[in-house]
């Protein structure tokens, strides 16, 4: 409204300067955050490795890998095949011993853990014991990376939907404070105490077992349709139930939380002032209520995603969704230690990434963010 007095040219200039400083501010903030977060991640992964290696489990992974590799090289070498079994076994043992020494399995645990840390940070996660990736590789990194897209697809879709739908509904409810729907949401908010996989069981029971309208689990029909359109339709159909249970488990609580933020902010004096000025209610909502609450909402959402990340393991298991969580579940069953350690590290990375992305968005929406202040 105040813009009316400016000429168009002036307006553009002002905007440019503003965006320039925003860019500087955000990028400085992001770089600092990135640095602190990477230190945090390094320490976090070191702790993870320490927990895993308390019983020498990472050492076992390394020893197995060396054993496998040495035996295979010797078996593949035609010159060695002439040797009699006794001296061949001796040779293998010698090589394993020297290889273990080279890799440092004879140094103290604390030093060794640092070496594992650098391996983990570079995603050199070793070889799986029993499991293989769909392409037939035993590399833990490949097995996990192959599963990651499925997890990201499910989590990403459901969380974006959750975020936008609950903010939208919360805005609507805050306008109708005290109405029937408002009271209903308040009354239903304790339902979020129940984790998503639990709703999943009920969803499967109702929609798959009793009504037989949606599949029990999996990601696409078997065999997968070759036509891309059919494929995406089948994917969509399989995503409804796991997605719905992920959303449902936090739906009412997030609406309730956002609504509370909106209500707190809409009782501020400047909102009354904006209303008194005669601004349309849409503008009041967007500029005077939504804008200042966004940082709060984003923090709230960040905490929600972090809890959902861990909960997704079991949701995927219940729905046989071929993502990271289900891989972890299968690894537990097969006692595949490298995969368990590897996926813990990947989860640590994912969490750090989530925290970083939300920090980034936070810096974009909150003009008060000051670097070094």
Restricting to residues 97-156, name those near other proteins by CB under 8 A.
none
d(C-alpha 298, C-alpha 196), whole Å: 21
- For the bound state, the minimum distance from the C-beta of residue 96 to other proteins, rounded and expressed in Å, comes to 24
d(CA 29, CA 372): 9
Smallest distance from the beta carbon of 303 to other proteins, in angstroms? Answer: 5
Contact status, residue 40 vs residue 32, Cβ threshold 8 Å:
no
Give the SS3 label for residue 74: helix
> Which token pair is 365?
């929406």
Bridge partner list, 127: 139
Binding pattern for the stretch 339-358 against other proteins, x by CB under 8 A and - elsewhere: -xx-xx--xx-xxx--x---
Residues 41-100 that bind other proteins (CB under 8 A): 41, 43-44, 47-48, 51-52, 54-55, 57
Q: Smallest gap, in angstroms, from Cβ of residue 346 to other proteins?
A: 9
Nearest partner of 200 among 188, 213, 217, judged by Cα: 217
Q: Which is nearer to other proteins, 44 or 104 (CB)?
A: 44
DSSP assignment letter at 26: H
The residue count of the chain comes to: 373
Q: 161 vs 216, which CB is nearer to other proteins?
A: 216
Residue with Cβ nearer other proteins (179 or 310): 310
Closer residue to other proteins, CB minimum distance, 150 or 337: 337
**CB closer to other proteins out of 14 and 187:** 187
Which CB sits closer to other proteins, 290 or 314? 314
* 70 or 363: CB nearest other proteins: 363
Query: Least CB distance from residue 28 to other proteins, whole Å?
Result: 19
Peptide bond into 223 cis (omega under 30): yes
The least distance separating other proteins from the CB of residue 336, rounded to whole angstroms, comes to: 10
Options 264, 361, 364, 369; binder of other proteins; rule CB under 8 A: 264
Question: Which of 107, 160, 184, 332 contacts other proteins by CB under 8 A?
Answer: 332
Three-class secondary structure of residue 139 per DSSP: strand
Between CA 299 and CA 297, with CA 309 as vertex, the angle to 5 degrees is 15
3-state secondary structure 33-61: HHHHHHHHHHHHHHHHHHHHHCCCHHHHH
Q: With respect to other proteins, which residue has the nearer C-beta, 213 or 303?
A: 303
Q: Which of residues 219-258 bind other proteins (CB under 8 A)?
A: none
CA distances from 293 to 73, 193, 260, 299, 332 (A): 62, 24, 10, 10, 42
Closest by CA to 222, choosing from 356, 320, 90, 136, is: 320
Decide whether 70 or 117 has the Cβ nearer to other proteins.
117
Closer residue to other proteins in complex, CB, 120/337 = 337
> Counting Cβ atoms within 10 Å, is residue 264 exposed (0-12), middle (13-18) or buried (19+)?
middle
Binding span for other proteins by CB under 8 A among 77-85, 112-120, 279-287, 338-346: 338-346
151-210 residues in contact with other proteins (CB under 8 A) are 177, 187, 189-195, 197-198, 201-202, 204-205, 208-209
With contact defined as beta carbons under 8 Å apart, do 244 and 210 qualify? no
For the bound state, the minimum distance from the C-beta of residue 236 to other proteins, rounded and expressed in Å, comes to 22
CA distance to 19, 57, 274, per residue, from 9 (Å): 16, 67, 27
Structure tokens at 273: 């002032």
Tell which positions 272-311 bind other proteins, by CB under 8 A: 303, 306, 309-311
Residues that bind other proteins (CB under 8 A): 36-37, 40-41, 43-44, 47-48, 51-52, 54-55, 57, 177, 187, 189-195, 197-198, 201-202, 204-205, 208-209, 216, 260, 263-264, 303, 306, 309-311, 313-314, 317-318, 328-329, 332-333, 335, 337, 340-341, 343-344, 347-348, 350-352, 355
């Amino acid at each position: 409204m105040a813009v009316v007095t400016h000429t168009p040219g002036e307006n553009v200039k002002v905007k440019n300067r503003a965006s320039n400083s925003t860019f500087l501010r955000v990028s400085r903030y992001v770089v600092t955050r990135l640095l602190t977060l990477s230190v945090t991640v390094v320490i976090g992964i070191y702790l993870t490795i320490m927990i895993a290696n308390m019983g020498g489990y990472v050492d076992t992974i390394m020893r197995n890998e060396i054993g496998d590799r040495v035996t295979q090289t010797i078996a593949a070498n035609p010159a060695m095949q002439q040797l009699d079994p006794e001296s061949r076994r001796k040779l293998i043992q010698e090589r394993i011993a020297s290889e273990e020494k080279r890799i440092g399995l004879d140094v103290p645990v604390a030093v060794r853990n640092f070496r594992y840390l650098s391996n983990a940070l570079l995603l050199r996660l070793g070889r799986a014991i029993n499991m293989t990736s769909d392409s037939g590789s035993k590399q833990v990194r490949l097995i996990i990376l192959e599963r990651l897209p499925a997890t990201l697809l499910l989590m990403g879709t459901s969380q974006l939907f959750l975020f936008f739908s609950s903010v939208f509904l919360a805005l609507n409810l805050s306008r109708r404070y005290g109405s029937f729907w408002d009271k209903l949401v308040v009354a239903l908010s304790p339902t979020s105490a129940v984790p998503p996989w639990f709703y999943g069981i009920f969803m499967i029971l109702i929609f798959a077992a009793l009504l037989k309208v949606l599949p029990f689990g999996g990601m696409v029909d078997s065999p997968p349709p070759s036509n891309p359109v059919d494929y995406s339709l089948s994917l969509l159909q399989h995503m409804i139930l796991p997605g719905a249970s992920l959303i449902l488990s936090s739906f009412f609580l997030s609406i309730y939380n956002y609504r509370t933020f909106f209500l707190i902010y809409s009782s501020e004096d400047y909102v009354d002032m904006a209303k008194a000025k005669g601004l349309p209610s849409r503008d009041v909502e967007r500029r005077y209520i939504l804008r200042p609450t966004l940082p709060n909402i984003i923090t709230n959402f960040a905490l929600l995603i972090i809890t959902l990340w861990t909960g997704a393991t079991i949701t995927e298991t219940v729905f046989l969704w071929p993502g990271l969580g289900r891989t972890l579940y299968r690894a537990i069953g097969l006692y595949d230690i490298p995969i368990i350690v590897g996926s813990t590290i990947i989860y640590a990375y994912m969490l750090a990434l989530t925290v970083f992305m939300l920090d980034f968005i936070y810096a974009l929406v909150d003009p008060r963010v000051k670097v070094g202040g």
